[in-house]
Amino acid sequence: MSQRQDPAASDYLHNTPDDAGFFGKHGGVFVPPALEGVMREVSRAYETISRSAEFISELRSIRKHFQGRPTPVYHAARLSRKLGASQIYLKREDLNHTGAHKINHCMAEGLLARFMGKKKIIAETGAGQHGVALATAAAYFGLECDIYMGEVDIAKQAPNVARMQILGTRVIPVKHGLKTLKEAVDSCLEAYMQDPVNQLYCIGSVVGPHPFPRMVRDFQHVVGAEARDQIIEMTGRLPEVVTACVGGGSNAMGMFSGFLADTGTELHGVEPLGRGPTPGEHSATLTYGSEGVIHGFRCYLLQDEQGNPAPVHSVASGLDYPGVGPEHCHLKDTGRVSYHTIDDEAAMEAFFLLSRHEGIIPAIESSHALANAIRLARTGERPRSILVNLSGRGDKDLDYVIANYGTGDRYVK
Ligand SMILES: *Cc1c(COP(=O)(O)O)cnc(C)c1O
């Protein structure tokens, strides 16, 4: 029985999305005419470098020497024992340089920008995590970097704003509307249209117009490819369940893309249920959304009656986006991935359980995926092997956690 990467897996990655950027009925390019040609130019450049041996070898070298890849898979044996007979394994993306998976696509986007002869890379950021990862890539490649950030988020995320500035990035305050992530994306797209010649827009997840959802998935694929080899080496077989949290969906697509062809392995995406299923209290887009268009692509969307993106909430600021990557929408439609919800409270319990029992403080985003594994370990009728993508570390969340949840004694009895 061969457990090496199935050729069907690379076929899928090769042929999905179609040439127009559609994953089933989701995705595509819904941008002003001025940007259509720009997107084609990015597509062509990506096609070229993704086949270039030089690009592949430079990216490999960056991943190894600068980021610290491969990240390990870790058997959380003590936590597993607390919960029952199932075994939980963690893919340690928190051990990447800068503390999360986002650096995987930001370094590759930096390489693409250099290849295209761009002087500047630009992006939006919400909590500042994508901004810090891209600012890091800009410093590495000697590129200028502008990060668009809502004024409300700038006030809330002072340490990340300082990090970006220390790295030499300009943080541009966005002052319209709710002054948070959605407005930051609007402003960044506007700035991109002003000067697509000197700038490259480096989107923060598997969202936006084609080719971004494909490109970011391919750049994150290393997570799933490594994890598949590592868990087979560790346990002698494939896991029964692989689970990851879904904001825009990049860490989940990276992980799932390594296992799509392994039909005996269940894939679970985890969305934030926030304070509950009432509109405005959560950000569970695939679970409660309907078809719509946001930021240049078609997807399931949390929207009001007029089709405007609805307000969303999650305790994890990296998960509160009203849209979601088009490939996840397609994988929901085909049934290959099942999508589940975890509320703020269950995510915080997982945050404290992992900290106390394993000495690993996870990001609150990643705690959602972990909470799904904990739920399965507690309730499953048979013991299973569960692989969790631990997308990031929790250092960025400590002030917020202490102020709102204390040190967790209530959760860890
Ligand atoms: C940004 C972020 C996420 C959410 O983004 P995806 O594109 O859904 O992966 C998840 N975990 C961490 C640690 C993040 O920083």
Tell me, what CATH number does 173's domain have? Answer: 3.40.50.1100
* Residue 406 maps to a domain: yes
Q: Domain count for the chain, please give it.
A: 2
**Cβ(99) – ligand 1 distance below 6 Å:** no
340: tokens are: 């589940």
* Residue 196 maps to a domain: yes
Atom 14 (ligand 1) nearest CA: 318
Q: Residues 6 or more apart from 254 whose CB is under 8 A from it? A: 101, 104, 217, 219, 220, 221, 222, 223, 224, 389
Question: Quick one: 250 and 399 in the same domain?
Answer: yes
Alpha-carbon distance of 389 to 332, in angstroms, equals: 19
pLDDT band at 3 (very low <50, low <70, confident <90, very high): very low
Question: Quick one: 57 and 177 in the same domain?
Answer: yes
The H helix count followed by the E strand count for the chain is 16, 14
**pLDDT higher than threshold 90 for residue 10:** no
Cα of 33 to ligand 1 centre, how many Å? 30
* Residue 130 maps to a domain: yes
Question: What local confidence, expressed as pLDDT, does residue 283 receive?
Answer: 96
Can you give the residue range of the structural domain that contains 113?
Answer: 22-65+102-212
**Cβ(289) – ligand 1 distance below 6 Å:** no
Q: Which residues does the annotation mark as catalytic?
A: 102, 124, 391
Cα of 205 to ligand 1 centre, how many Å? 8
- pLDDT of 166-224, one tens digit each? 999 999 999 998 888 888 999 999 999 999 999 999 999 999 999 999 999 999 999 99
Label the pairing between strands 87-92 and 73-75: antiparallel
* Ligand 1 atom closest to residue 319's alpha carbon, by position in its atom list: 4
Atom 2 (ligand 1) nearest CA: 318
Domain boundary among 188, 212, 236: 212
Instruction: Tell me the whole-structure pTM to 2 decimals.
Output: 0.96
129-141 and 158-166 are packed helices; what angle lies between their axes, rounded to 10 degrees?
A: 10
* Residue 13 maps to a domain: no
Q: Which position has the token pair 């799509």?
A: 260
Which three-class secondary structure state does DSSP give residue 96?
coil
* Residue 335 maps to a domain: yes
**Pocket residue to mutate for ligand 1, from 102, 163, 181, most atoms within 8 A of Cβ:** 102
Selection from 196, 38, 48 nearest residue 115 by Cα = 48
Question: Quick one: 308 and 275 in the same domain?
Answer: yes
Question: What local confidence, expressed as pLDDT, does residue 1 receive?
Answer: 32
